Structures are given as C-alpha cells and as structure tokens.
Amino acid sequence: MRFTIDEYSKRFRMSKEMIRSKLRERRLNYIIEEGTTYIIVPRSSLGEERLRAIEEGVKNTQAQPQPAPKPKTTVGTIIALYQKENRQLKERIHRLEAKIDNLIADKEQMLRDERDRIEQLYSKKDEQLKSILELLNTKLMLSDKSTVHDVDLSDDEPIDASWQQSDFVELRHYLKALDLKSAERKMIRRRFAEAYGSDVRVIQQNGQFYLDFSKYDYTDLLRH
C-alpha cells in the first residue's frame, strides 16, 4: 500500500517532521509521482485489524468529494489581468484630467472676473480723477481772475505825482497818495480785481490797474 505524507501521518499517528526525517534517512520506502511523495507500506507488515481500519479510512477518503483543482495560472490569464488593470488606470487618468481641466477653467474664469472688476474700479477712479482735475482747473481760472498783486511801496519810495496833472492814473499810486492803511489798500485792490472783466471802468495794463477819471466815476470802488 502507499500513502501520502499526510495520510501516513494520520494513519500511523506520526508527525510530518518525523516522517520527513525518516524519509531523508531512508528508513521508509517511498516513491515520487508527479511531484507527490508516496510512502510504500507492505501489507504483510500490517496486522489484520490495522489493515482493515486503513482500508476503511481509504474508502471513506475516496467517498468524500474532492475539492476541484485550482485552475493553473497561464500567460493569457496574466495578460488579461494586466489589460483589465490598464483599462481601470486609463479610466482613472481620464477622470483626473477632466477634474484638472475643470479646475483650470474655474481658475481662469475667476481671474477674468477679477480683471474686469479691477478695470471697472480703475475706470471709475479715472472718471473721479478727471472730475477733480476739471474742478481744480475751474477754481484756478477763477482764482487767476481774482488775484490781487499786493505791491506795497516803502516809505522811502518816491511817489509819482504826475497823476495829479492827468486823468489816467495807476491805482496803487493813487491809493498810496491817499495815505490809507495797508489793509484798506488791499481791500480796494481786491475789489478792483473782482470787478475786472465785468466792469468796463476797471482797466489793467502790465498787471497793474489804472483809473480813468475823465470817463468814469470810481466812488463805489474806492470807498473804505
């Protein structure tokens, strides 16, 4: 009779390590078929009772359904497995690329919106700046018209008295001759400056105002 190592271990109640040790020491007869080791046991060395029990055990073992042999892994199976994994990886890559494209599109849209917002903001600022500049220019123009050139003569400066013999005299000389205070002279000159351009009586030459008593009455402008 012949037994596999597992069968021999169970029938004779011997550990597998001990069986393998006896096989290495050639204390047991055995053969190898298709990579399986079978231990040869002569029937004559077994008692009738032991032999009967072994035969019944072999019959029970044969009667039990044997598990289906596992299919062998072939090259085709491995290739099919790699192809399946490759398809799954490609699908994941496509999904990731789609997500990246969406993120890039969203980022670009955000940048465009921010650019438009900044352009609108600066456009409004430019309009406000233009309005401020126009207002300043208007104020400067008005200020130029009402500017008074205060040129006070020192006490030592000689006064041109030729106006006494002429009806056309310079305003500052005339006011100096009247012996007015500085504040009063400034007030009258400012009054002439404000009237310049709208009152034909106010004459200006070389930045100085002149009076023409032969044509006009300046009583309202010279009051102090």
12-37: per-residue pLDDT in tens?
A: 888 999 999 999 998 888 888 888 89
Q: For residue 60, is pLDDT > 50? A: yes
- Is residue 155 assigned to a domain? no
- Is residue 150 assigned to a domain? no
Claim to verify: residue 180 and residue 135 sit in the same structural domain: no
Chosen domain end from 17, 36, 63: 63
Distance set, CA 201 to CA 147, 158, 166, 208, 216 (Å): 18, 27, 16, 14, 6
State which residues form the domain around 183. 161-222
- Is residue 59 assigned to a domain? yes
pLDDT of residue 96: 93
Q: What separation, in Å, do the N-terminal and C-terminal C-alpha atoms of the chain show? A: 153
Q: For residue 46, is pLDDT > 70? A: no
Find out whether 196 and 209 touch, Cβ atoms under 8 Å: yes
The whole-model pTM stands at 0.28
- Is residue 151 assigned to a domain? no
Claim to verify: residue 106 and residue 137 sit in the same structural domain: yes
Helix H or strand E encompassing 30? strand 29-33
Partner residues linked to 32 by β-bridges = 37
User: What's the total number of domains in the chain?
Assistant: 3
